[in-house]
Amino acid sequence: MLLNRFPLVAPSMLSADFGNLQRDIGMVNDSDADWFHIDVMDGVFVPNISFGFPVLKPIQKYAKKPLDVHLMIVDPDRYLERFREYGAEVISVHYEVCDHLHRTIQAIKKLGAMAGVVLNPHSPVSLLEEIITDADLVMLMSVNPGFGGQSFIESTLGKITLLKELIARKKTDVLIEVDGGVTLENAPRLVKAGANVLVAGYTIFGSADPAKTISSLKSL
């Protein structure tokens, strides 16, 4: 199932041990996590390169939970169908790179995936006024995208509140996902503000007991 009890927890595989990827996938499978979060970076839109299809293929093979694919790439429309073929059940694209965002969202939905829109830290929630009723999910970046392990940007809390208000005003049903710098310390505030999905990388994979950390986030 895509949706379980909130908050949903989506471990970011960018922080997994690539030398023991199958082991870490198994840990997530056996944990209380809900989704696998997959960051795809092209080195153009963001200053880093990450998962390509050769890495996504084994994740698809061994993962027993939905793949939440976050496309930090230019011209994402070119690859939507292929990411769906590789198991993406949630596909999120950045507002900042989509010239025809309505069309992109509809293309994702036509493929049978949930469609997400991502806002960088500098992008205001007001940009979503004309698109919010089309999306299934909005991801708020709480760090500048490109690298894991960054510190949480506190103004994200206010953006969650504004987004929740916009969703209520538009009478729509959109999930709020937060990605970047999520910790056991700030996660309760994120959930209280209205976050439905928590993405955590280093907090999970850098902990002494990743499965226990996932359970702690899930129990908020």
Of these residues, 24, 42, 68, 179, which one is catalytic? 179
E strands, the chain, where? 8-11, 36-41, 67-72, 88-94, 114-119, 137-141, 175-179, 197-200
3-state secondary structure of 196: coil
Check if the beta carbon of residue 68 is closer than 8 Å to that of residue 38. Answer: yes
CA 198 – CA 4 distance, rounded (Å)? 13
Of these residues, 34, 39, 42, 68, which one is catalytic? 39
Closest listed residue to residue 42, CA positions, set 5, 78, 7: 78
**Residue 179 annotated in active site:** yes
Catalytic positions, please?
39, 179
